[in-house]
Structure formats: structure tokens, C-alpha cells
Chain A
Amino acid sequence: MSQISKQGLSRRALLSRAAAAGALAVAGAGFIAAPDAAWAVEVSNVSEHEMATLLQMARDIYPHDKVGDRFYAIAVKSYDSEEQKQAVAEGIAALDAAAKEAGFEDYLSTGWEADRVAILRRIEDTPFFQTVRGGLVTGLYNQKEVWPIFGYQGESYSEGGYINRGFDDIDWL
């Protein structure tokens, strides 16, 4: 079972244990975490490299610059499972191989989004890519905590609808 948690890991502790894992997340023994330790995902079935790559891949598939990494981490953490680990290992290996073919060390260490997107285009018809992309449609956009970033207000019945809360308040027409 993986978990996302705001662990009490100090930034120094994280960084001192970290392996290089690209710009996004820091990988330690059994977890990946934000460089500032704001969040962490424990991994027990897939490798730290695989989870960090999944997280970067999620960002590159549905990039929203105002949406923090922790939401993407939540969206992919379920891949850390006994049932998924083989598919993840094969999928990330294929992604890293595609990155090598494109002249990079691996996917995570490819610095520019445009280069990573070009690598993803090489594998976008694979079942692995389509599974990850399809899962994100609900895994990312159905997180209620993400909705306010887009301005979406969600449930309204309990507040009496919008009849007195601006259903017709547009002021720029």
C-alpha cells in the first residue's frame, strides 16, 4: 500500500537521502517526495524511479501549471500495487528506452517538457500510455480539492443552488 502523507521529513533529511530524480520529485528509500518535503508518496511495490517517472508523465500528459505535484501524486499512487507493478515496470522501461532513442539518458532526466512530450508521442498508442492517460481523467480531474483551482464550485444543493448566489451575475457583456 502506498500512502501520500505530509510526513515530518526535514528538507535536509530528504535531500541527503535523495537520488537524482529529475526536477520534480526526490526519491529516497521507499518513497518519493517533494523537494521541500511538502508531501511524500511511499512505494512498496514499484521502484522510486518508476513512481517518480509516473508522476512526471502525469504532469506531461495533463499539464496544469497551477496544479501542484501533490495532486498528480494522488492520481498515480494507485499504481504502487502488486497487480500493477509488472505493467508499470515494463511501461516505464519502454518509456526510458524511447527517451534513450531520442538521445536522452532517461525520461526523468529529459529537461524540457517539449522533449518529454515528443518522447510520449512515440508511445502514445501503447496500452500502458492509454491506461495512464485514461486513469488520469478521473484520477486527476475528479479530485474535489483540484476543482477550486479551476474555479469550479462543485456541489450546490446544500447551499440552496445559485438562485441567490450569482446564477446570472455576469457583468461584462
Chain B
Amino acid sequence: MAEAAKFELGDDSVVVIVGTGAGGGVLANELAQKGVKVVALEAGGRYLPEDYVNDEWESFGQLAWTDPRTTSGDWRVAKDFSGLPAWIVKAVGGTSIHWAGASLRFQDHEWRARTTYGEVEGASLLDWPLDAAEMAPWYDKAEAKLGVTGVGGRPRLPGNNNYLVFEKGAKALGYQEVHTGNMAINSVEYDDRMSCQQTGFCFQGCKWGAKWSSAYTDIPRGEATGNLEVRDHAHVARILHDDSGKVTGVEYFDKDGNLQMQKARIVCVAGNSFESPRLLLNSASSMFPDGLANSSGQVGRNYMRHTTGSVYATFERPVRMWRGTTMAGIIRDEAKHDPSRGFVGGYELETLALGLPFMAAFLDPGAWGREFTTALDSYENMAGMWIVGEDMPQADNRVTLSDAEDSFGLKVANVNFSDHPNDVAMRNHAYKQGVAIYDAVGATRTLPTPPYPSTHNLGTNRMSEKPEDGVVDRNGRAHDVANLFVSDGSQFTTGAAENPTLTIVALAIRQADHIAKEMAAGNI
């Protein structure tokens, strides 16, 4: 195994990647495997399975991005968690440490949301400049990399107690496509990672490494090539460019708080959908007064977070939903596009469990008294599911620069979000179905629970055919800047109904292929 690389700050032959999660971490490894020299800058520290903790608040303190952000809009998160619009990770490996592992391909029609759904008032829908056929081989590679269950001959996970309740209710309602999901969690040993031990705490980092995360797969494998250097505790402040409008490197604060400048041949931004647009906006210059790559005015706009919510229910006897895989259970029947339900697009229903501490925090934020506490008294008898549906992109749901500053004196992201009427109609339909599922199993009480701080953050640097409609092209390359790429979920044109990580990984593998070819051809 080669030593991890060490590159000079003045080396302008490297590709600089900002962020090391499902997008940046995969891109870094894929490029390194192809012989491309990469410096990956990660704002957080490095934690591996032995460091993760089976304790919700302690883990949150270890992994979560808690740097300041501000919020606005009519979403309830802005009231209940005004400084915490997202529950995402600040660490090498990013939110791929925290994610549940649900790995679903977009449905074919979801690549063509504008065409399929038609004009939706108040929504800024757009078709992707990609389609299902073009993405299929990249999805194949992504599923093989992640070891997704239920495809490629890999068996599905066994169902836990929470799933068995969910499955019985789903079948009673006549749902057909009900199973333990397509999960990037090993049901059998795969790719040098062991199988799931049904520990729970998937959100706190998998201590067995049974769930895929770039933190302990792509990152160390990229480093082993000798082509990848990961610098942790490196907080990127701005991207620099020359008089021709090409980017030349990045300025970042290192672990000691000193400002450094790393030169680059190419810069790829993968800091999740708040930090990526924030970085472009904070990189404004006299040549790019509205922010880098923002001639369209689209940087930060069309923020999507999926139409979410949860349904918990209590029963006469124990369920103990916290035991086992957190999200191995899905009903796909409602994911279709069927406007007769009163909304466009569809939603998935997926099992979900929280431990007691997070249940107390998220079941009904701000609530108190016996209506609230009697629900928690039945915690042991509780089952839970999560709604994840396609939300409408809206131009004014957006990330802008706040007046507030972080500890480096950089303006922080303000996240403005309000539900579209389509989102509300979808959520209400999903609540009703979720309640019916649990009623069919004899629920004594059902609890339609409001959305948590977002884990699926999408769309703020969206991909578009035409430069005036979005920020990046079909390869994630900025329309305005030839050697600047976006490599995370912020490039999503629309959100689809599926958990986004598999698509982020497939796009990153595809982008690595594109960048390496363009570099070899001398085009960038």
C-alpha cells in the first residue's frame, strides 16, 4: 500500500475537492484510482467505526454540523430548530456516516419531472439533462460499490420488529411492493465489510462497518493509491479565479485557524446543499459580483428537502422498534405518479426508529404535558415510519448569505423554505396512509409527526440543459466556469421520491469518468 500523498500548496496540477461525503469522497477515490492527483479538503475531523458511539446526543456532538446557520420561511423547522435546519455531518466521510443506507434508483419518469407533471403553479420544475437509460450503467456501478441489497444477487436484510409491524399493516391495506428495501448495508459479508448485526444506531455511524460510508471505504482506498491527500479540519473560505474566469485554487482555514491557499487545476464543490452554494456566493469577486458561477442567478435557489414527516403508533404490546436496522423496510406503491391522489409525484414509506432521547426531542417539538408524555410512556410499544416524497422546487426556497458570521468571519447560510401546496397535499395523504397501516395492526394511538431538520438537502446548484435555468451542465460542470464542478446533491434538478445518496454516488462516479477523460484530452 502506498503512503497517502502529500501535495504542495503551490501544486497547480491537482484537483481540489471540497467535502468528502457521498459525492466528494467517491469522486476523490474514483479520480485517484484513475491516476489523477487529488487534494480533498474536509471541514470536519476524521472518525472511524471504533470512534462512533451508540448514544444519540453524544454522537450528535461528535459528528453533526453545528456551525451557525440561520433560517426563514414558514416551515416548522425554522421555529423549532431555527439554528439547525439540517441534521448532516461534519467529518471525513460527511453525511455518508449518518445516512440510513436506503439506496433507490430514480424512477424513469422522475428524470423528466417538468414533462411528466406539466406546469405546476409556483414550482420551478425542470427536466434533468440526463435520463434513466444514460444513468443505468452508473447506477450499476454505484450499487456494486455500495453493496446494495436486493440487486446484483445480494440478498435483502431480515426484517426487524418495526418492519414486521409495518409489513403486516401494509399487506392488510393491499400494498404490493413491500420489503426490507435496497440497502447499502451488508446482509452478507461483502467487499471486506461484515454483515449487519442488527445493532440499531445506523444514524450514529455503523460500528461494524456493515453500512457503506466513504469514511472507511473510498477515502482510505483513494489514499492507498498515493494519489489522494485528505486534509481534515480544513474549512474552505472561497474559491479563487484568474482574469480569464477560470478557477485557480481555494483559500481555506487550516486546523490551526491559519488561512492557506491551495492551487488547483480543477475545483469540485461537494459540501452539501447549504455549504456548496454558500461557498460560491462567498466567492463573489469583481468579475463575478453575484457569486461564482451565478450569472443565471440560480445559485442557492430551488432548495429541496423532500416532503417528509413521520408516523409513529403505539400498540397494546411491545414492539421495541430501536432493535435492528433503522430503515430496512419500504412500501413503494405510493411512489408512482398518480395525480388522482391530488398531487404530482409520489412518496416512499420507510421504517424509521429513534431512540428515547431523540424521540423526546423530535416527536412534537415544543409540546409538553400529558398529551405528549403519555405517548413517550408507550415508547416500548411504538412503531415508526418515515415519509420521503418528491417536493416541488421553488425559486424562493433558497440559500442566501446571512448577516451572521461563523468563527472565521465568513457569512453563514440562511435557509429559506416554505412548503408548496403540492408538498402539503402529499404529506397529508402520506399521513393518512401511514395511520391506516398502523390502525390495521391494532394501533391504540397514532402520531403524525412533523419533519425533522433536513437530511436530504438538494437542488441549490441545479443541473440544467440551458445555462439560464441552472448552475451546472449535464456533467456537473459550472455553465460559467470551465474548470469548476459541483459534485454533491446540490446539482439535483429535481428531487424524485427516492433517498438521494445512490444517485449522488452514481453521478460522482460518472463525473470522475468525465473529468479524467477531459483532463487526458487536455480540455481542462
Contact = CB atoms under 8 A, between A and B. Distances in A.
Interface of A: 60-66, 117, 124, 133, 137-138, 140-142, 146-147, 150-158, 160-163, 165-170, 172-173
A155 B373 CA distance: 23
Contacts of A152: 322, 355-356, 379-380
Given A163-B199, A173-B441, 6 more contacts: A65-B377, A133-B368, A141-B357, A152-B356, A161-B200, A161-B324
By DSSP majority rule, is chain A's interface helix, strand, loop, or mixed?
loop
A166 B323 contact: yes
B34 interface: no
23 contacts: A63-B369, A64-B377, A117-B369, A142-B57, A142-B357, A150-B380, A151-B318, A152-B322, A152-B355, A152-B356, A154-B355, A161-B198, A162-B197, A162-B198, A162-B199, A162-B200, A163-B199, A166-B161, A166-B323, A167-B158, A167-B160, A170-B320, A173-B168
Contacts of B57: 138, 142
A151 B198 contact: no
Contacts of A60: 369
Most buried by A among B318, B323, B370: B323
Contacts of B368: 61-62, 124, 133
A137 B369 CA distance: 13
A61 B168 contact: no
Most buried by B among A66, A142, A168, A170: A170
B357 A163 contact: no
A163 B195 CA distance: 10
Interface string B131-165: 00000000000000000000000000011110011
A162 B324 contact: yes
Interface of B: 53-55, 57, 158-161, 164-165, 168, 196-201, 207-208, 316-320, 322-324, 355-357, 360-361, 366, 368-370, 372-373, 376-377, 379-380, 441
Nearest to B369: A117
Contacts of A138: 57, 357, 361
Most buried by A among B165, B356, B377: B356
Nearest to B206: A157
Contact of A170 (B165, B197, B322, B357): B165
A146 B377 CA distance: 12
A64 B376 contact: yes
A160 B208 CA distance: 10
A61 B368 CA distance: 5
Nearest to A166: B323
Given A160-B197, A163-B197, A168 B376 contact: no
Contacts of A166: 161, 320, 323
A157 B199 contact: yes
Contacts of A161: 196-200, 208, 324
Contacts of A66: 377
A156 B204 CA distance: 12
A171 to B, nearest CB: 8
Contact of A151 (B197, B208, B372, B379): B379
A64 B373 contact: yes
Contact of B380 (A140, A141, A151, A160): A151
A151 B320 contact: yes
Given A150-B376, A157-B201, A161-B200, A167 B357 contact: no
Given A150-B380, A166-B323, A168-B324, A63 B161 contact: no
A160 B324 CA distance: 11
B154 to A, nearest CB: 18
